[in-house]
Amino acid sequence: MHPDCEPLALGQQLLERLDAAAECSEPGPGVTRLFCSNEHRQVLEIIAEWMRRAGLTPQLDASGNLVGRCDKARAGARTLIMGSHQDTVVEGGKYDGMLGVALPLLALETLKQQGVELEYGVEVVAFGDEEGTRFQSTLIGSRALAGRFDPTSLEARDANGVSLGEALKAFGGDPEQIASLARDPETVLGFVEVHIEQGPVLEQRDHALGIVTALTGIERHRVTVGGKAGHAGTTPMPGRRDALVGAAEMIAEVDRILNATEDFVGVVGKLEVRPNAVNVIPAEVTFTLELRSPRLEVREQGREAILAACRRLASNRQLALEIEQTYQAEAVACADGLMQSLHNACRDCEEPADTLFSGAGHDGLAMCELTDIGMLFVRCTDGLSHHPDEAITAADAGAATRVLMRFLDRLSADVAR
């Protein structure tokens, strides 16, 4: 494509930018950058400079997104949207989200330096909030662009009692104007996001890149197991109604079913025990159950098998059982056309690019309501993410940048035809 484009040099430049962004963090291990925080404000100054170097005009929108648009996009031309989120989990890594902001901006800047002019508009978005760490309200910025923003989410409060609406106003957003951010689907070519895989599949295949076929469906449940408290020293073992023992058996069965089912993952991530005393038989246990699969039928069948097992185990120990579904988001398929275009770009750059599904949710879960979505995964060391040791190599970063450049150039030819 561009013989003077050296992948390793591009990759090293990209990692340097990501190192600089990681400095915008609360003190402590890893990167902690919450929505509408001082650290959020600091990183937007860095991203805005990247946008200007790529030929884009940066602007903070009403929902807290930083949006960079080229002249064609600002003039109303059909526009490709790229980007990812800038926020992190507590003590997260440098690359989750931020890679998908920095990489397309470096790709656009490099194309600009090489005199390549795209035949369509480009918009790169640093979405304000995807992780939901501060307000437990996710995809705020991408839902706004997709025209699916829920005004009631403005009432969510952080640990200090500050509402999302109040935080946005203080940050420079405008909650009353969020509805006006919705893009016209007729003006959008698609949405493409580059992201670290957050899993081990690419590393196991020894491939730098992968093309995502779908974003997984997710559901969450709250399971409450009711037993009977009693003195731990005087109550005979036979006949005890120990809620924690019953819950432990259920959790083990969850793990067994998940391991026995293809394309099915999940976790029991939170456990609460009452009365939680050293010498009292547990009377009640509540645990969370999260299930994920890109295939609806797998998730539904797996869920029914798990819940049936929980009911059977509760009955065996004469325990009460309540199950409440608390969240559900269906899987989203990536568009065939964008997947093929990414595959062609990988082929042109001599990069193997197998397909795989995403076990994590991303801004595409909202953007699919607006337009076709595509996603390119980049290998991460040990499949590790949401951790201070999250890492990618300069070689892989450079390969991903070159592939995106090729994708953008090929798309330009397609639009021109």
User: What SS3 class is residue 15?
Assistant: helix
Residues 295 and 377 reside in one and the same domain: no
User: What SS3 class is residue 402?
Assistant: helix
Which residues, listed in sequence order, are joined to residue 274 by a DSSP beta bridge? Answer: 284
Residues 113 and 51 reside in one and the same domain: yes
Domain boundary among 270, 305, 329: 329
| In-domain check, residue 364 | yes
What is the CATH classification number for the domain harbouring 246?
Answer: 3.30.70.360
Residues 93 and 225 reside in one and the same domain: no
Q: Which of 191, 129, 179 is nearest to 150 (CA)?
A: 179
Residue 304 confidence (pLDDT) above 70: yes
Is residue 54 within 8 Å of residue 68, measured between CB atoms?
yes
DSSP string of 235-294?
S-STT---HHHHHHHHHHHHHHHHHTSTT-EEE---EEEES--TTB---EEEEEEEEEES
User: What pLDDT shows up at residue 7?
Assistant: 80
Residues 386 and 404 reside in one and the same domain: yes
| In-domain check, residue 297 | yes
Using the structure block, give the residue that is written with the tokens 């790169």: 124
User: What pLDDT shows up at residue 408?
Assistant: 98
Residue 287 confidence (pLDDT) above 80: yes
Is residue 102 within 8 Å of residue 61, measured between CB atoms?
no
Domain count of the chain? 2
pLDDT digits (tens, 9 = 90+) for 57-104: 999 999 999 999 999 999 999 999 999 999 999 999 999 999 999 999
Residues 284 and 201 reside in one and the same domain: no
The β-bridge relationship of strands 217-226 and 284-293 is: antiparallel
User: What SS3 class is residue 111?
Assistant: helix
Residues 29 and 141 reside in one and the same domain: yes
Domain boundary among 284, 310, 329: 329
Residue 379: partners with Cβ closer than 8 Å, 6 or more residues away: 196, 197, 202, 203, 207, 208, 209, 210, 392, 393, 396
Structure tokens at 139: 């995809």
| In-domain check, residue 73 | yes
Residues 37 and 153 reside in one and the same domain: yes
Q: How far apart are CA 83 and CA 193, in angstroms?
A: 6
pLDDT digits (tens, 9 = 90+) for 237-286: 999 999 999 999 999 999 999 999 999 999 999 999 999 999 999 999 99
| In-domain check, residue 204 | yes
pLDDT digits (tens, 9 = 90+) for 335-392: 999 999 999 999 999 999 889 989 888 999 999 999 999 999 999 999 999 999 999 9
**Residue 18 backbone phi and psi in degrees, to 5:** -70, -35
Residue 404 confidence (pLDDT) above 60: yes
| In-domain check, residue 1 | no
Residues 293 and 387 reside in one and the same domain: no
Taking phi over 0 as left and psi of -120 to 50 as alpha, with beta for the rest, 42 belongs to: alpha
User: What pLDDT shows up at residue 1?
Assistant: 42
User: What pLDDT shows up at residue 37?
Assistant: 97
Q: How far apart are CA 267 and CA 243, in angstroms?
A: 19
User: What pLDDT shows up at residue 4?
Assistant: 43
Q: How far apart are CA 152 and CA 275, in angstroms?
A: 34
Residues 204 and 241 reside in one and the same domain: no
| In-domain check, residue 315 | yes
* pTM of the complete model: 0.86
Confidence of residue 6 (pLDDT cuts 50, 70, 90): confident
Residues 356 and 314 reside in one and the same domain: no
Is residue 227 within 8 Å of residue 246, measured between CB atoms?
yes
What is the CATH classification number for the domain harbouring 81?
Answer: 3.40.630.10
Domain boundary among 329, 346, 363: 329
User: What pLDDT shows up at residue 121?
Assistant: 98
- Give the mean model confidence (pLDDT) for residues 213-223: 93
Residues 36 and 173 reside in one and the same domain: yes
Confidence of residue 416 (pLDDT cuts 50, 70, 90): low
Segment holding 314, helix H or strand E = helix 296-316
pLDDT digits (tens, 9 = 90+) for 102-139: 999 999 999 999 999 999 999 999 999 999 899 977 89
User: What SS3 class is residue 92?
Assistant: strand
User: What pLDDT shows up at residue 417?
Assistant: 62
The domain containing residue 96 runs over which residues? 7-215+333-416
- Give the mean model confidence (pLDDT) for residues 224-246: 97
Mean pLDDT of the chain: 95
Residue 399 confidence (pLDDT) above 60: yes
